[in-house]
Chains A and B, each alone.
Chain A
């Protein structure tokens, strides 16, 4: 039996960008893009599910995000996660990877008892690949990044293959471990129809509050209790619940500032013939270095 925590993120669907989503300065108008389950995080959840299928155990999916991230957490439940937790607070807005990993690490500490933390290698919106490793670092965990396949789990030891430039390496480490997985590692399973039906009504605290707002006969506490008893409550943690340092959260805790966004338009240019000789190849490499494509 192994207990896994999966770090998941809801991201704008950058794979399906249409004309009116791009702004003049070259940035993406996120509000116009549908929000989706970050593809590599879905692979991470699949990896956790396979560990559970083989050895038994439990899976908790957690995300830090706005209330609407509940949609993705329900999808985690549809795939087979046992529990989903939403970490949400207005004060988290504007967080960079440092602040995000601080919040996630504190949440993981509070949850405790885990053997694996799975995360996608990176999110398709930021492409930093930092949140997983930073979270692992704050928890003082060994980490296996760019994981392709878990080869063996034997007691408290895991052996895995990770992708490296030009090949792979096989690594072994003790549990607990933080793992980030690449897209091609495994194919995420489809939602289970039965779980879709049984968990479609799962709600986070914010969603329950919204229900209560519209109806004076409903009380939040009662509703939370009812949803909990039906195992349909998406546990919701705020900054206060986690007793976090406000200075390390959101914009305040984020040293990363976007300096400039440049719209790079790639287009075809002149052609140049390079002879397939040693000198020719040398020239090609020089040229690529000059254009900062190599090096």
Chain B
């Protein structure tokens, strides 16, 4: 029987190489939880065994139940009638089974009915589910909404909201976007006001809300009248049944199984999450780490599915008396896809672990504070972990979602004319991939989010350490290539900074972030190649390809081609 965990050799590769000792120990209170819960692991090996066994269940569910329903879910889509939203029959069945399998509260603590999985492991689950049906990720992958309440809400709120997320009775939505506040969330207008008893109410409109029909909504609203920026916004939780109307759902290009709602809040009673005025500047920024990783997982799942379709088709399709797989022009595309897929996964699990570490250090600090213990040693560690997660999160989102578009594009190309037809899965995958580099921050915004870390070269000592390391055999040549890329990067960085021209910097940012990405990923792949001979091929193609790309980035930055930005009006309106 097919199994998206057991069949996927690259997931297996990464699962075996995970080093989650520190995060799991923190999550499990140094394994003290096993005294109270039968499903809690007694040590690290037991924890990994737990995850492995649960992934076998998810791999089976994804391959044999969710994936076969995906075409029908896409075809049927979500229905809206008189304000009521109905999922496709397949989606309802998927959610019922995921709930029965106890998988709707994977990252929430056991005391609220969750599985207490580390974030990284949850991401692996999201990857597998997305491979089966990308649109299901927009419900299954929203578990961090519960986690946001867990993290910033109070105990009463946790007890009220979390158990029903875990049983699957409630699903959630994160209501941030408004008609005039998309990428610019500081412009959020939805009004939050209090009555004389201190009860909060919400009034206004939200748009493009994924799963906005969910029972629990976490809403960004303006609690400070008269303010105009992010400092006047707070975060609230409310129930959809309390006067929230789904005015319409969007008719979309892809992810048809996921409802995208326009919501009208009619004096909906709400609870403040955390402190006033911290809604955007602290809580939303924090939840973006996890949400962006979630979308990256979705993109990766789609890429995997598209690659599998393309590979299978290329082997089956006979032209000129042989499978098209054996034509170098086709196998070259497949290799490019496969290398991209594997470098994506390497970056993804590195990125997910960085977010995991940041989250767990924060938890540990909270716990130490409650116990009245010193936290000085942890603060510096957290600062560093946050800085790394702050780079790797947008970098992962940028690279994986753009890759998903490239891989689905190539997969469709390999199918030729048949790929353009609705009968084949690949056209759905191409449509589903298209949103990933738009929502939870467009690729352009990921560049903005990453550029600060790149300009400050926050991984400088990491790269210097890698450059000092001796790689054996053919790998030493690849290491030399990476050194060359780093010199190109440093040279460009100096060039851009010295220009002191902000509009030039804005344009060149994309090239700089890409250059930094080659280095981050290149060294990950180089290290993998040291322990696995097949991975040498992956590192080789990626690093040599990156060097060629890096030279292009340098040329673009230095040859003055971006100077025409100053003349945009003339060019565009001529």
Spell out A's residues near B (CB within 8 Å).
16, 78, 189-198, 200, 231
Are the C-beta atoms of B100 and A190 separated by less than 8 Å? yes
> Which chain A residues lie closer than 8 Å to B97 at the CB level?
189-190
- Pick the contact of B39 from A16, A190, A194, A231 — CB < 8 Å? A194
Are the C-beta atoms of B49 and A192 separated by less than 8 Å? no
> Which chain A residues lie closer than 8 Å to B520 at the CB level?
none
Are the C-beta atoms of A198 and B57 separated by less than 8 Å? no
With contacts A197-B39, A198-B39 taken as known, whether A191 is within 8 angstroms of B57 at the C-beta atoms is yes
> Which chain B residues lie closer than 8 Å to A193 at the CB level?
54, 57-58, 101-103, 106, 115
Expressed in whole angstroms, the Cα–Cα distance for A189 and B100 within the complex equals: 7
> Is B53 close to A, CB under 8 A?
yes
> Is B65 close to A, CB under 8 A?
yes
Are the C-beta atoms of A197 and B50 separated by less than 8 Å? yes
Expressed in whole angstroms, the Cα–Cα distance for A189 and B101 within the complex equals: 8
- Pick the contact of A198 from B38, B65, B106 — CB < 8 Å? B38
Are the C-beta atoms of B57 and A196 separated by less than 8 Å? yes
> Which chain A residues lie closer than 8 Å to B472 at the CB level?
none
Given contacts A190-B100, A192-B101, A200-B49, 6 further A-B contacts (CB under 8 A): A16-B1, A190-B61, A190-B65, A193-B106, A194-B39, A195-B39
With contacts A197-B39, A198-B38 taken as known, whether A190 is within 8 angstroms of B101 at the C-beta atoms is yes
- Pick the contact of B60 from A190, A195, A197 — CB < 8 Å? A190
- B47's closest neighbor in chain A, by CB? A197
Expressed in whole angstroms, the Cα–Cα distance for A190 and B61 within the complex equals: 7
Are the C-beta atoms of B115 and A194 separated by less than 8 Å? yes
Are the C-beta atoms of A200 and B100 separated by less than 8 Å? no
Are the C-beta atoms of A191 and B39 separated by less than 8 Å? no
Are the C-beta atoms of A200 and B50 separated by less than 8 Å? yes
> Which chain A residues lie closer than 8 Å to B50 at the CB level?
196-197, 200
Spell out B's residues near A (CB within 8 Å).
1, 38-41, 49-50, 53-54, 57-58, 60-61, 65, 97, 100-103, 106, 115
- A230's closest neighbor in chain B, by CB? B38
With contacts A16-B1, A196-B54, A197-B54 taken as known, whether A191 is within 8 angstroms of B49 at the C-beta atoms is no
> Which chain B residues lie closer than 8 Å to A194 at the CB level?
39, 102, 115
> Which chain A residues lie closer than 8 Å to B61 at the CB level?
190
Expressed in whole angstroms, the Cα–Cα distance for A190 and B97 within the complex equals: 7
- A15's closest neighbor in chain B, by CB? B1
User: Which 4 residue pairs spanning A and B have beta carbons closest together?
Assistant: A197-B39, A198-B38, A198-B39, A190-B101
- Chain B CB count within 10 A is highest, among A16, A189, A231, for A189
Q: How many A-B pairs with Cβ below 8 Å?
A: 48
Pairs across A and B, CB under 8 Å, 27 listed: A16-B1, A78-B57, A189-B97, A190-B60, A190-B97, A190-B100, A190-B101, A192-B101, A192-B102, A193-B54, A193-B103, A193-B115, A194-B39, A195-B39, A195-B102, A196-B53, A196-B54, A196-B57, A197-B38, A197-B39, A197-B50, A197-B53, A197-B115, A198-B38, A200-B50, A200-B53, A231-B38
Expressed in whole angstroms, the Cα–Cα distance for A192 and B61 within the complex equals: 11
Expressed in whole angstroms, the Cα–Cα distance for A190 and B65 within the complex equals: 9
Expressed in whole angstroms, the Cα–Cα distance for A232 and B106 within the complex equals: 24
A220 CB, min distance to chain B CBs, angstroms: 22
Expressed in whole angstroms, the Cα–Cα distance for A89 and B1 within the complex equals: 30
> Which chain A residues lie closer than 8 Å to B57 at the CB level?
78, 190-191, 193, 196
- B106's closest neighbor in chain A, by CB? A193
A75 CB, min distance to chain B CBs, angstroms: 10
> Which chain A residues lie closer than 8 Å to B38 at the CB level?
197-198, 231
Expressed in whole angstroms, the Cα–Cα distance for A190 and B100 within the complex equals: 7
> Which chain B residues lie closer than 8 Å to A192 at the CB level?
100-102
> Which chain A residues lie closer than 8 Å to B65 at the CB level?
190
> Which chain A residues lie closer than 8 Å to B115 at the CB level?
193-194, 197
B476 CB, min distance to chain A CBs, angstroms: 44
- B115's closest neighbor in chain A, by CB? A193
B125 CB, min distance to chain A CBs, angstroms: 9
Expressed in whole angstroms, the Cα–Cα distance for A195 and B41 within the complex equals: 13
B256 CB, min distance to chain A CBs, angstroms: 24
> Which chain B residues lie closer than 8 Å to A190 at the CB level?
57, 60-61, 65, 97, 100-101
- A231's closest neighbor in chain B, by CB? B38
Expressed in whole angstroms, the Cα–Cα distance for A190 and B56 within the complex equals: 11
Expressed in whole angstroms, the Cα–Cα distance for A237 and B33 within the complex equals: 34
B82 CB, min distance to chain A CBs, angstroms: 31
- B100's closest neighbor in chain A, by CB? A189
Are the C-beta atoms of A191 and B1 separated by less than 8 Å? no
A171 CB, min distance to chain B CBs, angstroms: 29
> Which chain A residues lie closer than 8 Å to B103 at the CB level?
193
Expressed in whole angstroms, the Cα–Cα distance for A189 and B115 within the complex equals: 19
> Which chain B residues lie closer than 8 Å to A231 at the CB level?
38
- A197's closest neighbor in chain B, by CB? B39
> Which chain A residues lie closer than 8 Å to B101 at the CB level?
189-193
Expressed in whole angstroms, the Cα–Cα distance for A161 and B415 within the complex equals: 48
Expressed in whole angstroms, the Cα–Cα distance for A78 and B41 within the complex equals: 17
- B1's closest neighbor in chain A, by CB? A16
B343 CB, min distance to chain A CBs, angstroms: 30
Expressed in whole angstroms, the Cα–Cα distance for A198 and B102 within the complex equals: 13
B162 CB, min distance to chain A CBs, angstroms: 15
B329 CB, min distance to chain A CBs, angstroms: 33
- Chain A CB count within 10 A is highest, among B50, B60, B115, for B50
A20 CB, min distance to chain B CBs, angstroms: 19
> Which chain B residues lie closer than 8 Å to A195 at the CB level?
39, 102
A115 CB, min distance to chain B CBs, angstroms: 24
- Chain B CB count within 10 A is highest, among A191, A192, A193, for A193
- A232's closest neighbor in chain B, by CB? B38
> Which chain B residues lie closer than 8 Å to A198 at the CB level?
38-39
A198 CB, min distance to chain B CBs, angstroms: 4
Expressed in whole angstroms, the Cα–Cα distance for A193 and B50 within the complex equals: 9
Expressed in whole angstroms, the Cα–Cα distance for A193 and B38 within the complex equals: 12
- B49's closest neighbor in chain A, by CB? A200
- B41's closest neighbor in chain A, by CB? A197
Expressed in whole angstroms, the Cα–Cα distance for A192 and B1 within the complex equals: 19
- Chain B CB count within 10 A is highest, among A16, A191, A196, A197, for A197
> Which chain A residues lie closer than 8 Å to B54 at the CB level?
193, 196-197
Expressed in whole angstroms, the Cα–Cα distance for A190 and B62 within the complex equals: 11
- A34's closest neighbor in chain B, by CB? B1
Expressed in whole angstroms, the Cα–Cα distance for A200 and B57 within the complex equals: 12
Expressed in whole angstroms, the Cα–Cα distance for A201 and B102 within the complex equals: 19
- B101's closest neighbor in chain A, by CB? A190
- B51's closest neighbor in chain A, by CB? A197
